[in-house]
């Protein structure tokens, strides 16, 4: 008996010892290995989808199993069995809860809750836990009060389950937000996305700020929170670094005190029913890397002058009522990689300084009131998407605009007042997939494209311009074309419909309202292959006989043969 007691004492001393001896091979402690094997045996999972649990077997030391981390002395410190398709097998009696030295437990992306199960309250026994991640597990119902006993927790992630935290609890066992966090004073990161909290600003802001004075990360997206923001949140102004509150109907202005959050790197308030004027000083916070205010159509605002060497990487304001010009100093934000400001009310010209944003990948400014000419975007060599449609842009575009954009895959300039010739060099850009120049005033001929370096172009929309002359036959070399719109121009000459056989993916072809002679071989009744069209617009094409390929179309949704 004495030796057994000694042995346990020895174990405890071993495991709680804070001296970490840097030994490479930690040997698993036998009873912990047994607990793990027992734990595994109880789990419901499919071995064909497992990459971690499958390696847990008694022939290897448990400290070498995938997902298990041990202290140098062999005590199990961490378990990461996320993403293992586990669909059950953790209840109050699970051997998991014997691993009392466990500091880190990640069970994310399984199906432990199966849509109806509760978190076993025995989890409260794991009092050494500092990191607990149960996100994405189909859990539902209440969060057990025992979680509030895990007072050493630094990171808690319960997001994307189906939990509820009642506003005023009926029983002690079903805590509200305040009770859940009141003793978790060590918390640095709290993720409760999609937990139904249903509390007004005064309640949730105070519950968080009165207890969690070390909090850096607050992620409460889609929690049925309401507003307005309560001033108590300003207590966390020196610590909070990430605030994500998307999809809550805050229905209030953004408080000016956020401009005092000196450690803020990421602010996300997408679709929060915000109104009033956004405090522009927030954009000037030197630590800010990402801001998303999108889908708040009643939120007014404008952009301030940006300081030199700002950290901003993501500027996301789409579907807001932001207005006014883009300041020249936007060019100071050298780290910017994504600008989504489409469907706002911005005016003025596109600052030339933006062409210095060498990290840009996405630039979407459609649906504003930008005017003037388009500066040359050949500097941001990683640019993939450039959207400027539905503005009031004028002037021409030429090869100097895009020469080096080898990664550009989507360019949309639809619905402006651009003119001049369309530079064919555009079509030689090696990654271009989508080109939409519809509804401008481009004129002149569209010459043959000699060096088609790639065949990636799938969408080529040039309709409603003033293009003239023959349609270049090299169009048939764009073998991936699925949508070709050349309608409502002044194209002339003949266009051999039979050659469409080469464009096997084409499903939308619009050639109406030109001066074209659409030709085809009226004697050919059997085409080995012809594209299956959904949209086929061939109005005013001077056809005199019915195109036979039309007899074999099964997906046709709209066909226009009028005025032939």
Ligand X SMILES: *[C@@H]1O[C@H](CO)[C@@H](O)[C@H](O)[C@H]1NC(C)=O
Q: Is 554 in the site for ligand X (CB under 6 A)?
A: no
- Report how far residue 502's alpha carbon sits from residue 523's, in angstroms, rounded to the nearest whole number: 19
Q: Which of 84, 194, 313, 318 binds ligand X (CB under 6 A)?
A: 194
Q: Is 85 in the site for ligand X (CB under 6 A)?
A: no
- Report how far residue 476's alpha carbon sits from residue 473's, in angstroms, rounded to the nearest whole number: 6
Q: Is 127 in the site for ligand X (CB under 6 A)?
A: no
Q: Give the nearer residue to ligand X in terms of CB position, either 398 or 502.
A: 398
Q: Which stretch binds ligand X (CB under 6 A): 251-259, 425-433, 447-455, 472-480?
A: 251-259
- Report how far residue 116's alpha carbon sits from residue 118's, in angstroms, rounded to the nearest whole number: 7
Minimum separation from the CB atom of position 129 to ligand X (A): 13
Minimum separation from the CB atom of position 370 to ligand X (A): 13
Q: Is 168 in the site for ligand X (CB under 6 A)?
A: no
Q: Which of residues 200-239 bind ligand X (CB under 6 A)?
A: 216, 222, 234, 238-239
Q: Is 433 in the site for ligand X (CB under 6 A)?
A: no
Q: Is 59 in the site for ligand X (CB under 6 A)?
A: yes
Residue 27 DSSP code: P
The count of chain residues that interact with ligand X, using the rule CB under 6 A, is: 54
Distance of CA 67 to the CA centre of its chain: 27
Q: Is 328 in the site for ligand X (CB under 6 A)?
A: no
Distance of CA 26 to the CA centre of its chain: 40
Q: Give the nearer residue to ligand X in terms of CB position, either 17 or 298.
A: 298
- Report how far residue 435's alpha carbon sits from residue 188's, in angstroms, rounded to the nearest whole number: 46
The two three-digit tokens of residue 279, written as one number: 């405090």
Q: Which of 127, 249, 494, 562 binds ligand X (CB under 6 A)?
A: 249
Q: Which stretch binds ligand X (CB under 6 A): 177-185, 470-478, 487-495, 519-527?
A: 177-185
Q: Give the nearer residue to ligand X in terms of CB position, either 164 or 480.
A: 164
- The 3-state secondary structure of 220-275, one letter per residue: CCCCCCECCCCHHHHHHCCCCCEEECCCCECCCCCCHHHHHCCCCCEEECCCCCCC
Q: Which of 69, 347, 358, 404 binds ligand X (CB under 6 A)?
A: 404
The two three-digit tokens of residue 315, written as one number: 């500027």
Minimum separation from the CB atom of position 423 to ligand X (A): 9
| Contact predicate 282/260, CB 8 Å | no
Q: Which of 61, 182, 384, 468 binds ligand X (CB under 6 A)?
A: 182
Q: Which stretch binds ligand X (CB under 6 A): 255-263, 460-468, 473-481, 525-533?
A: 255-263
Residue with tokens 């020196």: 238
Q: Give the nearer residue to ligand X in terms of CB position, either 59 or 554.
A: 59
Minimum separation from the CB atom of position 346 to ligand X (A): 10
**73 torsion bin: left (phi>0), alpha (psi -120 to 50), beta (else):** alpha
Q: Is 502 in the site for ligand X (CB under 6 A)?
A: no
Torsion angle defined by CA atoms of residues 242, 245, 247 and 250, in that order, rounded to the nearest 10 degrees: -150
Minimum separation from the CB atom of position 542 to ligand X (A): 36
Q: Is 174 in the site for ligand X (CB under 6 A)?
A: no
Q: Which of 69, 100, 185, 321 binds ligand X (CB under 6 A)?
A: 321
Q: ∠ at Cα 279 (278, 281), nearest 5°?
A: 140
Q: Is 283 in the site for ligand X (CB under 6 A)?
A: no
Minimum separation from the CB atom of position 505 to ligand X (A): 31
Q: Which stretch binds ligand X (CB under 6 A): 56-64, 68-76, 496-504, 512-520?
A: 56-64
Residues 6+ apart with CB under 8 A from 465: 437, 438, 439, 440, 441, 442, 443, 488, 489
| Contact predicate 403/380, CB 8 Å | no
- Report how far residue 26's alpha carbon sits from residue 47's, in angstroms, rounded to the nearest whole number: 27
Residues 6+ apart with CB under 8 A from 549: 497, 498, 500, 520, 527, 530
| Alpha helices, H only, 376-486 | none
Nearest in space to 156 (alpha carbons), one of 126, 127, 181: 181
Residues 6+ apart with CB under 8 A from 447: 424, 472
Q: Which of 15, 33, 143, 157 binds ligand X (CB under 6 A)?
A: 157
Q: Is 301 in the site for ligand X (CB under 6 A)?
A: no
Q: Is 191 in the site for ligand X (CB under 6 A)?
A: yes
Sign of the CA dihedral with 435 first, then 437, 442, and 445 last? positive
Q: Which stretch binds ligand X (CB under 6 A): 189-197, 466-474, 533-541, 544-552?
A: 189-197
Q: Is 353 in the site for ligand X (CB under 6 A)?
A: no
Minimum separation from the CB atom of position 198 to ligand X (A): 11
Q: Is 289 in the site for ligand X (CB under 6 A)?
A: no
Query: Using CB under 6 A as the criterion, which residues of the chain lie in contact with ligand X when the complex forms?
Result: 46, 48, 55, 57, 59-60, 82, 91-92, 106, 108-109, 118, 120-122, 133, 135, 148, 155, 157, 179, 182-183, 189, 191, 194, 216, 222, 234, 238-239, 241, 247, 249, 251, 256-257, 260, 263, 273, 297, 321, 343, 345, 373, 378-379, 395-396, 398, 400, 403-404
């Amino acid at each position: 008996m004495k030796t057994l007691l000694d042995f346990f004492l020895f174990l405890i001393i071993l495991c709680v010892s804070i001296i970490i001896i840097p030994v490479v091979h930690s040997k698993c402690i036998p009873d912990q290995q047994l607990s793990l094997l027992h734990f595994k045996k109880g789990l419901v999972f499919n071995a064909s989808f497992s990459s971690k649990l499958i390696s847990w077997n008694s022939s290897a030391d448990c400290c070498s199993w995938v997902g298990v981390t041990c202290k140098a002395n062999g005590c199990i410190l961490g378990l990461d069995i996320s993403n293992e398709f586990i669909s059950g097998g953790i209840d109050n009696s699970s051997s998991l809860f014997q691993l009392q030295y466990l500091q880190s437990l990640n069970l994310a992306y399984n199906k432990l809750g199966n849509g109806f199960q509760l978190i076993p309250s025995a989890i409260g026994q794991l009092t050494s836990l500092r990191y607990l991640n149960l996100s994405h597990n189909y859990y539902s119902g209440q969060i057990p009060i025992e979680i509030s006993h895990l007072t050493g927790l630094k990171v808690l992630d319960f997001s994307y389950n189906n939990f509820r935290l009642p506003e005023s609890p009926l029983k002690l066992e079903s805590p509200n937000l305040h009770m859940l966090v009141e003793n978790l004073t060590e918390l640095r990161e709290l993720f409760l996305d999609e937990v139904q909290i249903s509390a007004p600003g005064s309640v949730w802001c105070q519950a968080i700020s009165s207890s969690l004075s070390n909090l850096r990360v607050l992620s409460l997206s889609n929690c049925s929170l309401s507003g307005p923001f309560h001033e108590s949140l300003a207590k966390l102004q020196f610590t909070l670094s990430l605030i994500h509150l998307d999809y809550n109907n805050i229905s209030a202005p953004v408080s000016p005190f956020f401009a005092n959050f000196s450690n803020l790197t990421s602010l996300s308030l997408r679709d929060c029913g915000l109104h009033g004027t956004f405090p522009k000083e927030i954009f000037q916070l030197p630590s800010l890397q990402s801001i998303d205010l999108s889908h708040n159509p009643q939120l007014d605002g404008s952009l301030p002058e940006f300081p030199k060497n700002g950290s901003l990487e993501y500027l996301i304001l789409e579907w807001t009522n932001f207005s006014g010009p883009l300041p020249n100093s936007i060019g100071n934000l050298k780290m910017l990689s994504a600008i989504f400001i489409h469907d706002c009310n911005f005016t003025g010209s596109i600052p030339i300084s933006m062409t210095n944003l060498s990290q840009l990948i996405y630039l979407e400014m459609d649906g504003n009131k930008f005017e003037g000419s388009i500066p040359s975007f050949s500097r941001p060599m990683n640019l993939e998407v450039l959207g400027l449609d539905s503005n009031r842009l004028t002037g021409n575009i030429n090869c100097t605009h895009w020469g080096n954009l080898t990664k550009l895959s989507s360019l949309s300039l639809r619905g402006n007042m651009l003119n001049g010739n369309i530079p064919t060099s555009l079509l030689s850009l090696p990654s271009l997939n989508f080109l939409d120049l519809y509804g401008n005033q481009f004129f002149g001929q569209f010459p043959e494209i000699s060096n088609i370096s790639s065949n990636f172009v799938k969408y080529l929309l040039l309709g409603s311009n003033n293009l003239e002359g023959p349609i270049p036959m090299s169009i048939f070399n764009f073998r991936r074309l699925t949508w070709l719109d050349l309608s409502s121009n002044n194209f002339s000459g003949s266009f051999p419909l039979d050659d469409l056989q080469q464009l096997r993916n084409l499903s939308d072809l619009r050639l109406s309202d030109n001066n074209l002679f659409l030709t085809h071989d009226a004697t050919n009744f059997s085409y080995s292959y012809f594209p299956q069209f959904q949209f086929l617009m061939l109005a005013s094409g001077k056809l005199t006989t019915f195109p036979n390929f039309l007899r074999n179309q099964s997906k046709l949704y709209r066909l226009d043969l009028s005025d032939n």
